[in-house]
Amino acid sequence: MIGAADQRAAGAGAAPPQALSPEAKTHLQKRPTCVSVIGWAWIIIGVNLFLSCVLGLSAWLMIGAMSETELDRPFFRILPLICVLLLAMAVSGLVAGVHFLRLKAWARTVLEVLTWLFLVYTTAFIVFWLIGWFAATSGYGPRDPGEIIGAVIGVIIAAGYGVPFIIMLKYLRGDTVRNAIAGGRDPVGSPICQ
């Protein structure tokens, strides 16, 4: 039974609680904080990734138009493909983030897949960063402090991106999110993720 506070939240003159649709009842219940944080994080990630891809494609078009010769560098040739793939991820993350806030089960699955993809990307980044960094600085004799500092900076950057996704993945796969989507509550009874 929905209490008086919930009836006020439903709005004055609203249908009695028994007449509310299951989706409307879900919105009246407080969703766990981790669901809100993850949903909004993916909405923000999706928007930022979308804008980055649009700017990347714009730069690619401008550089191609201004170049007097054909740019045949491999990265320049595959940049449009990379941007299209990232645009698909951006739109998927944005749409899934919105629907995750509405506690849709399919959105949790999409966000979990996207989170794994970002973790794979971050892992590949750090591997290629370290290989590239040590290859570029290895010709200068014994280990230079600058060589180590550059490698440490790469690891810190990767951790800055990777750790939040690891935490997000932990909650996406956890009981709190699964119970919220199933319509139940957190196993401890609190709407905040433990």
DSSP 68: S
In the chain, what are the domain boundaries? 31-182
SS3 of 144, please?
Answer: coil
Residue-level pLDDT at 166? 94
What per-residue confidence (pLDDT) applies to 2?
46
Nearest alpha-carbon partner for 92 in 79, 64, 105, 111? 111
Provide the percentage of residues in the chain whose pLDDT is more than 90.
Answer: 39
Q: Which two tokens mark 122?
A: 């971050």
Residue 102: which H helix or E strand, with range? none
Q: What is the pLDDT of residue 70?
A: 65
Q: Please name the residue that has the structure tokens 């995750």.
A: 100
What the block records as the tokens of 79 is 């940049």
- Could you tell me the maximum CA-CA distance found in the chain, to the nearest angstrom? 79
Taking phi first (over 0 means left), then psi (-120 to 50 degrees means alpha), and beta for anything else, what does residue 189 get? left
Contact 92, 110 (CB under 8 A): yes
Task: Please name the amino acid found at residue 159.
Answer: A
**Which whole number is the average pLDDT over 159-172?**
93
Q: Are 42 and 100 in contact (CB under 8 A)?
A: yes
pTM for this prediction: 0.70
Tens digits of per-residue pLDDT, 91-114? Answer: 999 999 999 999 999 999 999 999
**Tokens (6 digits) for 9:** 């939240």
Confidence check: pLDDT of 25 > 70? no
Q: Which residue has the higher pLDDT, 56 or 67?
A: 56
Place of tokens 């028994």: 18
